[in-house]
Amino acid sequence: MRLLLTTSQGIEDLARAEVENLLSELGVPFRVEERPLGVEGRLLAEVGEAFYTDEKGRKRELSVSTYLNERSRLLHRVIVEIASERFEGIGEEEPEKVLRRIEEFVSELPVERFVKVSESFAVRSFRKGEHRITSIDISKTVGKAIFERLERFGSPKVNLDHPAVIFRAELIGDVFFLGIDTTGDSSLHKRPWRVYDHPAHLKASIANALIELANPEGGPFMDPFCGSGTIPIELALRSYTGEITCLEKFRKHLYGAKMNALAAGVRDRIEFLLGDATRLSEYVESVDFAVSNLPYGLKIGRKSSIPRLYMDFFGELAKVLGKRGVFITTEKRAIERAITENGFEIKHHRLIGHGGLMVHLYIIM
Ligand SMILES: C[S@@+](CC[C@H](N)C(=O)[O-])C[C@H]1O[C@@H](n2cnc3c(N)ncnc32)[C@H](O)[C@@H]1O
């Protein structure tokens, strides 16, 4: 079986390491490729069949996709791949020609091997890049091709609201993917514990990528701009044994973070502090790890306050940080200045896709 796995752009290596760890635990043969056909934010895993022995000693199949949906912290979707194809020149072609190419391609695929004709289905699409067609055009075209193909085997049923089976069609640049989306309509990064929706919350998958990069080894950990608590909560859910602190300036967000932690079942594992990160040393003497997505993209007018905020914060961080910091922001110039002028060294930098933007990530020591 081939699984197309989706995640955020820029964290494919971390997602791959996670998937490889999880698959090793199952003891199945596998091979994981990052960015199949050059597509960012995607992995392709070739996985052998997994089995377990039930209470009567019978060999039973274990669903690898269910396992990954349940266990992964970095993936967004687990899709059973039906086909992957590069359509050269698709960006320049007339819309009718593009859709005809997609329809012809899909109609040749043995989709009947992946669904029962009696099950209702829907096609959900994702499109990224320069095209003259929309994702709705793709859904309709792929849906028609699948329907006509399945008609050879019975009477297919479409149910757009509550389908039993979701086909996922993706057109990213000139690469087309088709598969069965085993994750469902809600991406895995939308955690069920999120009862308070902070306007600038971090995707849980990216929060876990930051945690992986910080690699905290049990010492005190803090998110000094914790908003709705995504990073501390995800860390606590990983059974972290060290102290975890969530510092936030606004009461409303801090209260929301507590509610999220309560929903996640980790309220008692996190210390919540109302306070100003530019006065960090007033609240804590030392922390080993500080991980945060910093405030950025504030409304024009207040944006000028960012360099000052970063300078003051990193000045305070220099007084308390013992081991490593991991931060993300869009404000490259302001953060790099604040990091270096406060005596820190940038150990690693990368770009990550978040909310349609590429944000800069730094590991500092
Ligand atoms: C980008 S958001 C963090 C979102 C968070 N990671 C989440 O997933 O919900 C930045 C947060 O920093 C808070 N903040 C801004 N200035 C602050 C300061 N001086 N001290 C502490 N928190 C501050 C904002 O209220 C906001 O909640």
Q: Please report whether residue 246 resides in a domain.
A: yes
Q: How high is the pLDDT of residue 355?
A: 87
Kindly report which listed range (31-40, 269-278, 295-304) carries the lowest average pLDDT score.
295-304
Categorize the per-residue pLDDT at 303 as very low, low, confident or very high, splitting at 50, 70 and 90.
Answer: low
Q: How many domains does the chain have?
A: 2
What is the DSSP track for 331-349? -HHHHHHHHHHTT--EEEE
Q: Please report whether residue 39 resides in a domain.
A: yes
Query: For the chain, what is the mean pLDDT?
Result: 96
Tens-digit pLDDT profile for residues 8-23: 999 999 999 999 999 9
Among residues 148, 181, 214, the one where a domain terminates is: 181
Q: Please report whether residue 197 resides in a domain.
A: no
Residue 313 CA: nearest ligand 1 atom is 19
Q: Order of strands, edge to edge, in the sheet holding 357-364?
A: 270-274, 244-248, 221-223, 287-293, 321-329, 357-364, 346-354
Q: Please report whether residue 193 resides in a domain.
A: no
Q: What is the CATH number of the domain that holds 322?
A: 3.40.50.150
Would the CB of 213 count as within 6 Å of ligand 1? Answer: no
Q: How high is the pLDDT of residue 301?
A: 53
Q: Please report whether residue 194 resides in a domain.
A: no
Q: 215 and 358 share a domain?
A: yes
Give residue 268's Cα distance to chain centre.
26
Res. 242: pLDDT tops 90: yes
Q: 229 and 121 share a domain?
A: no
Q: 172 and 213 share a domain?
A: no
Q: 167 and 251 share a domain?
A: no
Kindly report which listed range (2-11, 52-61, 317-326, 336-345) carries the lowest average pLDDT score.
52-61
Q: How high is the pLDDT of residue 91?
A: 85
Residue 277 CA: nearest ligand 1 atom is 20
Q: How far is the CA of 212 from the centre of ligand 1 (A)?
A: 21
Q: 173 and 299 share a domain?
A: no
Compute CA distances 349 → 110, 222, 228, 278, whole Å.
43, 20, 25, 23
Q: 221 and 340 share a domain?
A: yes
Among residues 181, 215, 231, the one where a domain terminates is: 181
Q: Which amino acid is at 187?
A: S
* Enclosing domain of residue 70: 2-181
Among residues 132, 150, 181, the one where a domain terminates is: 181
Please tell me the distance from the alpha carbon of residue 180 to that of residue 75, in angstroms, as a whole number. 16
Res. 109: pLDDT tops 70: yes
Q: 104 and 177 share a domain?
A: yes
Compute CA distances 360 → 38, 92, 222, 350, whole Å.
21, 32, 20, 6
Query: Which residue, 168, 45, 158, 177, is CA-closest to 105?
Result: 177
Q: How far is the CA of 193 from the centre of ligand 1 (A)?
A: 19
Would the CB of 198 count as within 6 Å of ligand 1? Answer: yes
Q: 126 and 238 share a domain?
A: no
Tens-digit pLDDT profile for residues 28-84: 999 999 999 999 999 999 999 999 999 999 999 999 999 999 999 999 999 999 999
**pTM of the predicted model, to two decimals?**
0.96
Q: 81 and 122 share a domain?
A: yes
Q: 177 and 208 share a domain?
A: no
Cβ atoms 277, 249 nearer than 8 A: yes
Q: What is the CATH number of the domain that holds 13?
A: 3.30.2130.30
Res. 200: pLDDT tops 90: yes
Q: How high is the pLDDT of residue 298?
A: 59
Q: How far is the CA of 217 from the centre of ligand 1 (A)?
A: 25
Q: Please report whether residue 290 resides in a domain.
A: yes
Q: 310 and 173 share a domain?
A: no
Across 140-151, average pLDDT: 98
Q: CA 101, 106, 107 angle in degrees (round to 5)? A: 100
The token duo for 262 is: 């309560």
Res. 299: pLDDT tops 60: no
Q: Please report whether residue 215 resides in a domain.
A: yes
Res. 188: pLDDT tops 80: yes
Q: CA 267, 268, 274 angle in degrees (round to 5)? A: 70
Nearest CA residue ID for atom 10, ligand 1: 295
Across 194-216, average pLDDT: 98
Mutate to test the pocket of ligand 1, among 201, 253, 258 (most ligand atoms within 8 A of CB): 253
Q: 29 and 169 share a domain?
A: yes
Q: Please report whether residue 195 resides in a domain.
A: no
